[in-house]
């Protein structure tokens, strides 16, 4: 994908996979979303440097799910309104039952 050195993400972000065999390029969209959901500022910075902003924006905008707190962070980082995110529309349409 690119010639830069692979980022050193915190291994706890990828707690459920074998970190040593993780292919950053083959699963780039999944890696980007996972870093934004579970990573800290330095992880996000390294992710943006490695994948570049265009690839990061594409992956985040087309993600099926990002939790609310991180959705607003992602929107601020890539300078897009939350309404542009694919995962924003289903969140708005699913309402909780009215508590009686």
What confidence tens digit (pLDDT) does each residue in 6-49 have? Answer: 888 999 999 999 988 989 999 999 999 999 999 999 999 999 99
15 in any annotated domain = yes
Model pLDDT, residue 91 = 60
Is residue 76 domain-resident?
Answer: yes
Q: How far is CA 37 from the centre of its chain?
A: 6
Planar angle of CA 70, 71, 72, nearest 5 degrees: 90
Instruction: Assess if residue 1 is contained within a domain.
Output: no
- Flag whether 98 is in a domain: no
Domain span at residue 34 reads 11-93
- Write the pLDDT tens digit of every residue in 65-85: 999 889 999 999 999 999 999
Please count the structural domains in the chain: 1
What pTM does this model have?
0.84
Give a yes or no: residue 49 inside a domain.
yes
- Residue 58 counted as domain residue: yes
């Amino acid at each position: 994908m690119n010639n830069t050195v692979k980022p050193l993400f915190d291994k706890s972000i990828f707690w459920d996979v074998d970190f040593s065999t993780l292919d950053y390029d083959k699963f780039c969209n999944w890696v980007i979303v996972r870093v934004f959901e579970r990573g800290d500022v330095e992880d996000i910075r390294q992710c943006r440097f490695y994948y570049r902003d265009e690839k990061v924006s594409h992956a985040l905008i087309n993600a099926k799910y990002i939790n609310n707190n991180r959705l607003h962070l992602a929107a601020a980082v890539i300078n897009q309104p939350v309404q542009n995110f694919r995962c924003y529309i289903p969140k708005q349409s699913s309402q909780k039952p009215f508590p009686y």
